[in-house]
Amino acid sequence: MNILALDTATEACSAALYSNGEIKQLYEFAPKQHAHLILEMIDQLMNQSGLSRTQLNAIAFGRGPGSFTGLRVAASTAQGIAVGLDLPVIPISNLHALAQLGYNEFQWTHVISAIDARMDEIYWGHFVFDEQSQLMKPVSEEMLTKLISVSDNKTWNGIGSGWKVPGITASPILNGCVEKLYPERYPRAYEIAQLAVKEYESGNMLSAEEALPTYIRDSVVDN
């Protein structure tokens, strides 16, 4: 199985290739450079792997939430490659990818992922580790609000740029349930590829025409 994954939803830009059980990634923090950088990353990964694009089985991409411009770049790039090769597309939530990053790096099993949505708002959601799949899974809807909340007494950890929004960590709604924070993290194609493998094996794929970004907000002040 060979899956190409890409992400341009935030200030970070990355591409990853899953092949033979391994994931290789190129990642760069590069605000507003995604459109040309992502294509270079894809070409570099394919050259390094020795694979041709015709050997790919699917294209995965970060479908949002995130920057409007970034999401359009990711979706259009994924669609363009998929149409040309007649491949299925696997959209992956950027909040889900962030939660998986929290597990991969810190072994966090209860994660609140948050992405700065601008205009003093945050995209966020709750995720917990699933023993059966050995992956994080969502346990709430993806939200767009000014505050992050929890409705139980479990201990959560926070990851993503949304935790840098002023006033978030001081919110009484959190009830002191957030133990550790790592706001200096952005979604990566590595975790998008990792999550996409499970979706591919489960047959959860779309045609290129159906692979659209998830904006949550109807209008936004973009990155």
Which tokens go with 67?
């920057």
Q: Which domains are delineated in the chain?
A: 2-92+187-210 (3.30.420.40), 95-182 (3.30.420.40)
Q: What is the pLDDT of residue 96?
A: 98
**Strand pairing category for 135-138 and 58-64:** unpaired
223: pLDDT strictly greater than 90: no
Q: How many CA atoms lie within 13 A of 37 on its CB side?
A: 18
Q: pLDDT per residue over 137-182, tens digit each?
A: 999 999 999 988 887 778 999 999 999 998 887 676 677 788 999 9
pLDDT of res. 30: 93
pTM: 0.94
Q: pLDDT at position 220, please?
A: 41
pLDDT at 218: 63
Give the per-residue pLDDT at 221: 41
Span 108-139, pLDDT tens digits? 999 999 999 998 899 999 999 999 999 999 99
Ranking 19-33, 54-68, 114-128, 139-153 by mean pLDDT, the lowest is 139-153
CA proximity to 119, closest of 194, 220, 18: 220
What DSSP string describes 121-151? -EEEEEEEEETTTTEEEE-S--EEESS----
Pull the structure tokens for residue 5.
Answer: 């994954």
φ, ψ dihedrals at 22, nearest 5°: -120, 150
Over residues 198-219, the mean pLDDT reads: 89
